[in-house]
Structure 1
Amino acid sequence: MPRYAKSRVLVLFDIDGTLLSRSGPHHRQVLEEAIWQVAGVRSTTDGIPVQGMLDGDILQCMLRQAGAAEAAPELMLAIMKKAQALYVRRCPDLREKVCPGAPQLLERLAAEGVVVGLVTGNLSRIGWRKMTQAGLRPHIRYGAFAEQGATRAELAGLALAEARRREWLEAPTVATLIGDHPNDILAARANGLRSVAVGTGVVP
């Protein structure tokens, strides 16, 4: 990890609907295939309001919807691992899916030494692969992902704590969470972060 100068500004981004308008069907497809390959259950995301949800919660909903029992922690970890491996191999080029202005904003923040991270419901390898395929990875320092917490609010708290633990921040700090879903706003409020809501997702 390179050494960074301390900053008084932290900006955390959601991915889907915030940095990317849409990333195609591949994410949903690998969740479905991972459940089939690992648990032997045919399932789908149809009818599940996946926007604003964590991938782990989506997987559990898919299992329940298919009539299966809730996955034990060991099985859930195996499903998550399989889904990430599948996605890394299948994720297409996403540069055309980047929201207007997002690359320029990330470049400016990074150039000014702002600490930039992710708070996303994506599993870690899926989230990072999206950022790589979208051409945004060089501007993002770190992230908090679905497998690291039970709620989006917990992930936002982890991201804030990690930046402090690494001594990237100095007081007084202005910390902001940018997202397209009410869950992003609630996560910001739960951690005392400033919230910026964007209209690029599915929520009006």
Structure 2
Amino acid sequence: MELIVLWDIDHTLIENAGVSKEIYAAAFTGLSGKEPMGPARTEGRTDRLIMRDMFHRNGVAEPDWAAVEEALTAAGAARLSELSRRGTALPGVREILKEASARSAWVSSVLTGNIAANARVKVSAFGLDSLLDLRVGAYGADALQRPDLVAVARERAQRLRGAQGGVPVVIVGDTPRDVEAAIATGSEIIAVASGVHSAEELAAAGAQRVLPDLMDTARVLGILETFAAS
């Protein structure tokens, strides 16, 4: 049975060890010529909103998006080796991605606030890129708000992988915004308390299935198979 599984990246699949916020700071500095007054506010926002917020908080006119995306791309590419050195794939991630990718009827990709170039940097830093169909993912340049990314991923899955219109979609993520995106779009959600948000916060946001992490491959796979059969 078919299923579209969309994994968040930061704090769901990987721990970026602060490199992600360094990317935003470097992009900001490259465009504005000065250091930001504080770190980027992320927590599941798209790159469009993260960078817009940084410019506004620092009193800098927001450049056009093409320039911002170019700066983010350059900053991300420059930190690939640093991310590989300092960060890590989270426990259990490689195993569950292998299981999901082995199911020919499933589409396993990403739904992330990162732009596509930096999403690829982050998963390739730990050899996860070959376990995901990144062509059909939805990324931070595709929409301002996270819920709107679900339709982007679904359309790409239909166009590039031949997925049917009514195929269930599952979001796996670590923030209340992941939960909200699932609820707003009628998608399923597996919330993972592997980031800064507790299991209680994720449940309060509306997640009915909350896991401490992705270490229990059989449990995660069982939940996904239940969604596929629904």
Asked if these proteins are the same fold (TM beyond 0.5), I'd say: yes
Q: Pairwise mapping of residues 20-59 of structure 1 onto structure 2 (< 5 A)? A: 20=14, 22-46=15-39, 49-59=41-51
Give 2:202's aligned residue: none
Give 2:57's aligned residue: 65
Count of aligned pairs between the two proteins: 193
Distance (Å, rounded) in 2 between the aligned partners of 1:34 and 1:96: 20
CA-atom RMSD, angstroms? 1.9
User: Alpha-carbon deviation of 1:105?
Assistant: 0.5
Whether 1:86 aligns to 2:75 is yes
Residue aligned with 2:35, SS: coil
Give 1:181's aligned residue: 175
Give 1:128's aligned residue: 120
Whether 1:105 aligns to 2:96 is yes
Residue aligned with 2:196, SS: coil
User: Alpha-carbon deviation of 1:43?
Assistant: 1.2
Structure 1 runs not aligned, ≥5 long: 1-6
Structure 2 runs not aligned, ≥5 long: 199-230
User: Alpha-carbon deviation of 1:201?
Assistant: 1.0
Alpha-carbon deviations, 1:120-157, whole Å to 9, x = none?
01111111111101111001102111011111101112
Which stretches of structure 1, 4 residues or more, deviate above 3 A after TM superposition?
none
More relative contact order in 1 or in 2 (CA 8 Å, sep 6+)? 1
Give 1:146's aligned residue: 140
**Preserved contact between residue 94 and residue 134 of structure 1 (Cα < 8 Å):** no
TM-score normalised to the size of structure 2?
Answer: 0.77
CA 1:169–1:95: 2 relative to 1, 3 Å: farther
Distance (Å, rounded) in 2 between the aligned partners of 1:35 and 1:115: 35
Give 2:163's aligned residue: 169
% identical equivalent positions: 25
